[in-house]
Structure 1
Amino acid sequence: MTVILDLKTLYEIDDSLWLEETIELLKAKNFEALDLENLLEELEDLGNEKRFRVASFLQQIIRHCLLLQFWISERDYNQAHWQAEIVSFKDQLKRYLTTNLRKYLEQEFEQIYFESVRYVRQKTDNQVNFPDTCPYSLEELLDPNWLPSDNQGDKK
């Protein structure tokens, strides 16, 4: 194991090597030599990245569900694609979802929906009337076998 004396400097120069050195120090239980400031920052970033990833997948699921259910004029042409996208994003979300990340999605559900509906309104040139609140539960959106019904429609 090569120990770089100044891990803070190494972090600024080569964060990949810094990570390797930090892992070696942790394995050796050499906690005094750790660059705690940057280690904490990296751990916080890792947590943020995981939250962003699951929120992004959920946002994609909601977007495609809304398009599938409400954009009737495009449904015939895009239905199979939108359904396939929903399945794909659900599968990807399932890979990353933990109990804590699910709680995060529950807490951020309204904001995630707001961002999703803002996107689909723009995509449809504001020609489709989408609900102001999410018409789907989180459980439905996570259910691998669930798809939205097509009993709603275009008109604004």
Structure 2
Amino acid sequence: MSASYQADFNLWIKHTAQLLRSHHWQEIDLEHLIEEVEDLGKSEKRGIASQLTRLLLHLLKWQYQPQRRSDSWLDSITDARTQIELTIQDSPSLKNYPTEQLEESYQRARRQAAKQTELQISVFPEDCPYSLELVLDEDWLPEASE
């Protein structure tokens, strides 16, 4: 079974699901199944962190490049907020994860904003200037910086 896991992951998933449905417990590749179940939780967290970084990046660009504001930035901000909300609805135990990730995601967003805007990284505050409540508020956008 382990060879199937290495050779064709999708086939391994289908076969494992069949074994679970038919209650063939002894035939299940338990080691890899446990690994995959654990990875599902990591994937949800990675998704929140990624969306939070994308959201913060676009909030920074919105604030620091008001002359370049666009509907696509607004769409990205809205979509990131929605994706975070949906993930937390599916997994309420991750409700506090954005709080835990805010500063780390902000640091990633800050570096990306500097590259994308071609502004010096020092233009952007060292610490996240937005509260998580504002970041996730669907009606909030930062004011333009001078």
User: In 2, Cα distance between the equivalents of 1:110 and 1:44?
Assistant: 25
User: In 1, Cα distance between the equivalents of 2:129 and 2:141?
Assistant: 12
Is the partner of 2:125 in helix, strand or coil? Answer: coil
Aligned residues: 143
Q: Give % identity.
A: 32
- For residue 67 of structure 1, the aligned residue among 61, 65, 71 is 61
In proportion to residue count, which structure has more helix?
Answer: 2
Stretches of structure 1 that go unaligned for 5 or more consecutive residues are 1-6
Change in 2 beyond 3 A, CA 1:27/1:115: same
Provide the residue aligned with 1:125 in structure 2: 118
Provide the residue aligned with 1:4 in structure 2: none
Task: Give the TM-score of the pair, scaled to structure 1.
Answer: 0.80
> What aligned pairs does 1:14-93 form with structure 2 within 5 A after superposition?
14-71=8-65, 75-93=66-84
Tell me if 1:142 matches 2:133.
Answer: no
CA RMSD of aligned residues (A): 1.9
Is the partner of 1:149 in helix, strand or coil? Answer: coil
Aligned residue type for 1:59? T
Of the structure 1 ranges 33-42 and 118-127, higher mean CA displacement relative to structure 2 is found in 118-127
Change in 2 beyond 3 A, CA 1:133/1:17: same
Tell me if 1:102 matches 2:95.
Answer: yes
- Stretches (4+) displaced over 3 A: none
CA displacement at 1:59 relative to structure 2? 0.6
User: In 2, Cα distance between the equivalents of 1:117 and 1:15?
Assistant: 36
Stretches of structure 2 that go unaligned for 5 or more consecutive residues are none
Aligned residue type for 2:97? Y
Of the structure 1 ranges 56-65 and 132-141, higher mean CA displacement relative to structure 2 is found in 132-141
Q: Which has the larger radius of gyration?
A: 1
> What aligned pairs does 1:2-21 form with structure 2 within 5 A after superposition?
7-21=1-15
Aligned residue type for 2:6? E
